[in-house]
Amino acid sequence: MSVQQPIRRKLDVKNGRVDLSHGAGGRAMGQLIEDIFHAAFDNDWLRAGNDQSAFDVEAGRMVMTTDGYVVSPIFFPGGDIGSLAVHGTINDIAMAGARPLYLSASFIIEEGFPLADLKRIAASMGEASREAGVPIITGDTKVVERGKADGVFISTAGVGVAPPGLALSSDAARPGDFVVLSGTIGDHGVAVMSKRENLEFETQILSDSAALHGLVAAMVAAGGAGIRVMRDPTRGGLAATLNEFAHQSRVGFAIEEEAVPVRPEVAAACEFLGLDPLNVANEGKLVAILSPDVVEATLAAMKAHPLGAGAAVIGRVVEDPNFFVEMRTSFGGGRIVDWLSGEQLPRIC
Amino acid sequence: MCLAIPVQVSEILPDDMAKVSLDGVAKIVSTALVEDLHVGDYVVLHVGYALAKIDPEEAQRTLELLASAGAALQ
Amino acid sequence: MKYVDEYRDGKLARGIAATIAREADPARLYHFMEFCGGHTHAISRYGLEDLLPENLRMIHGPGCPVCVLPIARLEMAIECAQRPNVTLCTYGDLMRVPGSRGSSLLKAKAAGADIRMIYSTLDAIRIAEKEPEREVVFFAIGFETTTPPTALAVRAAHKKSLANFSILCNHVLTPAAIQSILQSPEVRELGSVRIDGFIGPAHVSTVIGLQPYRFFAEEFEKPVVVAGFEPLDVMQAILMLVRQINEGRHEVENQYVRAVTEFGNERAQAEVAEVFELRESFEWRGLGQVPYGALRLRPAYQNYDAEKRFGLEAKPAEDNPACECGAILRGVKKPRDCKLFGTACTPDTPMGSCMVSPEGACSAHWTYGRFREATKAAPQRRSVA
């Protein structure tokens, strides 16, 4: 006579909430992981149910990155914390010119978080991961008491492999190099801000959150070693990225204000709030420093890719002992673009 | 701080409020300080309140003055 | 953006600059003070000083309400925010202004005070309605542009019988400030600060109209041109000032005709008059005690005065002794003259209010002025062809 099996109740996704038992390591946690995360990410690694996952290492240089996602609000026009986590981690790998291979995702969930929202986030991550062709092969779940985490925090790691001969580095920019932007700036930050309490405004702007590894592959094929460095201007916006490059490469920048693409709606939202689009976060754009001999080919490759259709040369690298990033205005004058001081928004990445 | 921008009234709402927009970005603001507003009017917006109506004729006149001042070199 | 982009045309700006250069008398100097912080910001943002002839200089005035807020009043707000149950609502600009001993609203928030950044007084009223158990205090600052929104908030609170709403009032007046500058020893007697004319504030003037400036034009024989905020407005206003000086006139002229009228917004003025009255004296950072230059709530609205409700007192607080914000606000010194500028005092680590506010002279110099200095020192700083 076989032992009776307990009735396995389905997770009440519609009305249920995460509680401390879901993080305790027992059956409840196992069920949460299976029904929510494995169901959404679905691959052999996860189905094996181990605490770790193994993969063969490709020949070449391995690249690894880690990221934390604390965006508020969790759901925003054009994405959510889940899709953002997938795109952002993939992009960090891609900015090295590397091919992203695998992701990990660790969730810290606040007691009381609606299961429906968790399922929605997981589904969004699964979709982003499948679309990008980069599986989430291992993960972790913790639950903390109410008030100890703002809904959910997601921490990721990513690994990838860099093609041989490519040595992108932020200290590689040289005077005379070109600065290229893959598209409009400010979209993500404005989309998130529009949902923030006390700022609410209506807009059609969507976050530009996207995985850029396909665009990068096209660029690497066209520009190769002529690509000095790439970076996605997330927190701090384009201003922060250019200043980082300036200091790390010990150069200055001369950027043409008119050449920096900004959607009219984004410009308008920034006017409303008194912000400069240069300081606003982007999650689906990259800025690349290119040596002059590869600019034409690389720019053409970018424009041929859906995520680079709006690509443009926005300026040049110059010699400057002060490492200033200069914005040349349409007035023929110049102003310094600095890092933004202090926090402008509470967590948009 | 005196951040004020010109926005267009797109909808008049009750209780001295209105929806205004600038290039597709819309916000609901107070019109308690401005009289006789119509949809399509432009107002100067400051910290959530419309402060003054923009006079389109005067605006045009200013643009013409600017153009002539700027072109005087000819 | 309509009514914005047309007034930012770089080509037209260069054309007007050429006209200014032609009409400016090479035998004399022109010193104009742009009173309003918004103009300071526009001038630095668009690099307008680069377009002006060598003999025409702009002096940054004290029209930045963040810059002129004395430390003692900021400390009062910080102290209030730390009282039990208080929710302090503030415009974003004030969060990082340094108080004494490195304090700030941002730091007080990190230490647990309920301080919320809002876009409009409408938000403060909404919070008071939604959270009746909280004591909601609105930290009110600003010149005449920003005062009517506060007046309306107080009226709304009164109408809705919101017992948990009050304001900490630091509203100040433009004409009093202009008067204070023109009567300061450096301007009047010593002549060490020469001011030949004023660019009048844009949006303050939509509220107060042109009338209040006539006194200055006549009494001190200085022309005043009220200008819009866009760079072309500022350029045109400078041209109008040059012409007045050349023709020996000292009148009040209106460049911002699309939004400013002779008498201003009388409805807004009435709302303010209903709720506020003049303080006999109020300390301004940099200008010291200014008579009849600030507002407080009228007796009928005493209940909404946070100073009374919480028994708040301004405790004497000193600026960092090396901080030159005061002198800079009066136009007596330039940011470069301050020992702290660029070293101890930067936008990331501001020592004084002139650096925190994007309209402050030091912040403007950090963004724009440093670059001009660097370019002048190293003209070979040009990109490869």
β-pairing verdict for A99-110 and A136-144: parallel
Domain contains C197: yes
Q: What's the domain count of chain C?
A: 2
**Whole-angstrom Cα distance, residue B28 to residue C122?**
10
Domain contains A8: no
Q: How many Cβ atoms from other residues are within 10 Å of residue A75's Cβ?
A: 14
pLDDT tens, residue order, chain A (349 aa): 678 887 777 888 889 999 998 888 888 888 999 899 999 998 999 988 888 999 998 888 999 999 999 998 999 999 999 999 999 999 999 999 999 999 999 999 999 999 999 999 999 999 999 999 999 999 999 999 999 899 999 999 999 999 888 889 999 999 999 999 999 999 999 999 888 766 677 778 999 999 999 999 999 999 999 999 999 999 999 999 999 999 999 999 999 999 999 999 999 888 887 788 999 999 999 999 999 999 999 999 999 999 999 999 999 999 999 999 999 887 777 788 888 766 554 334 4
**What single-letter amino acid sits at A108?**
I
Asked if residue C121 lies in contact with residue C90, where contact means CB atoms within 8 angstroms, the answer is no
Residues A263 and A121 in one domain: no
Beta bridge partners of A99: A161
Closest residue in C to B29 (Cα) is C122
Residues A118 and A25 in one domain: yes
Q: What's the domain count of chain A?
A: 2
**pLDDT band at residue B1, thresholds of 50, 70 and 90?**
very low
Higher per-residue confidence, C44 vs C259: C259
Chain C residues touching residue B35 (CB < 8 angstroms): 267
Report the pLDDT value the prediction gives residue C371, as an integer from 0 to 100.
67
Q: What's the domain count of chain B?
A: 1
**C-alpha dist (Å) from residue A214 to A80, A209, A349:** 21, 14, 22
**Whole-angstrom Cα distance, residue A323 to residue A133?**
39
DSSP A118-183: HHHHHHHHHHHHHHHT--EEEEEEEEE-TTSSSSEEEEEEEEEEEPTT----TT---TT-EEEE-S
Instruction: State the average pLDDT for chain C.
Output: 89
Beta carbons within 8 Å of C281's beta carbon, 6+ residues apart: C289, C290, C291, C292, C293
| Token pair 């169901």: residue | A39
**Whole-angstrom Cα distance, residue C250 to residue C321?**
38
Chain C residues touching residue B6 (CB < 8 angstroms): 1-4
Chain-centre distance of CA C250, in angstroms? 24
Asked if residue C9 lies in contact with residue C232, where contact means CB atoms within 8 angstroms, the answer is yes
A123 min Cα distance to partner chain C (Å): 34
Domain contains C376: no
Q: What percent of chain C is predicted at pLDDT more than 70? A: 96
Domain contains A167: no
Chain A residues touching residue B5 (CB < 8 angstroms): 271-272
DSSP C220-251: H---EEE--SSHHHHHHHHHHHHHHHHTT---
Residues C47 and C14 in one domain: yes
The dihedral of CA C146, C148, C153, C157: what is its sign? Answer: positive
Report the pLDDT value the prediction gives residue C378, as an integer from 0 to 100.
61
Residues C276 and C341 in one domain: no
Find the CATH number of the domain harbouring B36. Answer: 2.30.30.140
Report the pLDDT value the prediction gives residue A308, as an integer from 0 to 100.
97
Q: What is the ipTM of this complex?
A: 0.91
Report the pLDDT value the prediction gives residue A162, as an integer from 0 to 100.
92
| Pick from A98, A93, A217, A219: nearest CA to A161 | A98
Q: C37, B2: Cβ pair inside 8 Å?
A: yes
| C45 has a chain A CB within 8 A of its CB | yes
Tell me whether residue A124 is exposed, middle or buried, using C-beta atoms within 10 angstroms of its C-beta: 0 to 12, 13 to 18, 19 or more.
buried
Q: C47, A342: Cβ pair inside 8 Å?
A: no
Domain contains C375: no
Q: What is the pLDDT of residues C307-341, one digit of tens each?
A: 999 999 988 877 778 888 878 877 778 888 999 99
Domain of B28 in residue numbering reads as 4-71
Report the pLDDT value the prediction gives residue A125, as an integer from 0 to 100.
97
Chain A contact partners (≥3 CB pairs within 8 A)? B, C
Go through chain B and tell me how many residues it has.
74
Beta carbons within 8 Å of A223's beta carbon, 6+ residues apart: A290, A294, A297, A298, A301
Chain-centre distance of CA A290, in angstroms? 22
Domain of C232 in residue numbering reads as 1-308
Domain contains C383: no
Find the CATH number of the domain harbouring A204. Answer: 3.90.650.10
Residues C37 and C170 in one domain: yes
Report the pLDDT value the prediction gives residue C1, as an integer from 0 to 100.
82
Residues A126 and A201 in one domain: no
Report the pLDDT value the prediction gives residue C382, as an integer from 0 to 100.
46
The dihedral of CA C139, C144, C147, C151: what is its sign? Answer: positive
Residues C53 and C94 in one domain: yes
Chain B residues touching residue C234 (CB < 8 angstroms): none
Report the pLDDT value the prediction gives residue C265, as an integer from 0 to 100.
97
Of C9, C96, C384, the CB nearest to A316: C384
Report the pLDDT value the prediction gives residue A261, as an integer from 0 to 100.
97
Report the pLDDT averaged over residues C288-308: 95
Of B3, B5, B24, the CB nearest to A203: B24
Report the pLDDT averaged over residues C108-114: 94
Q: What is the pLDDT of residues C357-378, one digit of tens each?
A: 777 888 888 877 776 676 666 6
Find the CATH number of the domain harbouring C226. Answer: 3.40.50.11740
**pLDDT band at residue C187, thresholds of 50, 70 and 90?**
confident
| A171 has a chain B CB within 8 A of its CB | no
Q: What is the pLDDT of residues B11-32, one digit of tens each?
A: 999 999 999 998 888 999 999 9
Chain A residues touching residue B3 (CB < 8 angstroms): 274
**What single-letter amino acid sits at A142?**
K
Per-residue tokens: A173: 């920019």
Report the pLDDT value the prediction gives residue C26, as an integer from 0 to 100.
94
Residues A244 and A313 in one domain: yes
Per-residue tokens: C31: 């010193």
Asked if residue C179 lies in contact with residue C195, where contact means CB atoms within 8 angstroms, the answer is no
Residues A151 and A189 in one domain: no
Domain of A319 in residue numbering reads as 178-336
**Whole-angstrom Cα distance, residue C314 to residue C312?**
7
Domain contains C385: no
Spell out the SS3 assignment of C249-263.
CCCEEECCCCCCCCC
Helix spans in chain A (H): 27-32, 39-41, 44-47, 81-94, 115-132, 187-193, 213-223, 237-249, 264-273, 295-304
A278 min Cα distance to partner chain B (Å): 18
Residues C247 and C335 in one domain: no
Beta carbons within 8 Å of C32's beta carbon, 6+ residues apart: C56, C57, C58, C59, C195, C196, C197, C198, C199, C238, C241
**What single-letter amino acid sits at C278?**
L
pTM of the predicted protein model:
0.88
Q: B6, C239: Cβ pair inside 8 Å?
A: no
**pLDDT band at residue C383, thresholds of 50, 70 and 90?**
very low
Domain contains A341: no
Q: How many Cβ atoms from other residues are within 10 Å of residue C113's Cβ?
A: 18
Residues A157 and A187 in one domain: no
β-pairing verdict for B17-22 and B4-13: antiparallel
Beta carbons within 8 Å of A13's beta carbon, 6+ residues apart: A35, A36, A115, A116, A119
Residues A57 and A187 in one domain: no
Q: What is the pLDDT of residues C123-159, one digit of tens each?
A: 999 999 999 999 999 999 999 999 999 999 999 999 9
Residues C209 and C342 in one domain: no
| A267 has a chain B CB within 8 A of its CB | yes
Question: Which range has the worst mean pLDDT, A283-287, C21-25, C30-34, C174-178?
Answer: C174-178
Of C148, C233, C257, the CB nearest to B58: C257
Report the pLDDT value the prediction gives residue A104, as an integer from 0 to 100.
97
Domain contains C41: yes
Residues A145 and A274 in one domain: no
Of C18, C228, C271, the CB nearest to B73: C18
Report the pLDDT value the prediction gives residue C170, as an integer from 0 to 100.
96
Dihedrals phi, psi of C90, to nearest 5 degrees: -145, 155
β-pairing verdict for C86-91 and C135-142: parallel
- Across A262-299, b (16+ Cβ under 10 Å) vs e yields bbebbbbbbbbbebbbbbbbbbbbbbbbbbeebbebbb
Residues 84-143 of C with CB under 8 A from A: 95-96, 106, 116-119, 123
Q: What is the pLDDT of residues C201-251, one digit of tens each?
A: 999 999 999 999 998 899 889 999 999 989 999 999 999 999 999 999 999
Residues C209 and C273 in one domain: yes
Instruction: State the average pLDDT for chain B.
Output: 89
Q: C46, A271: Cβ pair inside 8 Å?
A: no
Report the pLDDT value the prediction gives residue A197, as an integer from 0 to 100.
61
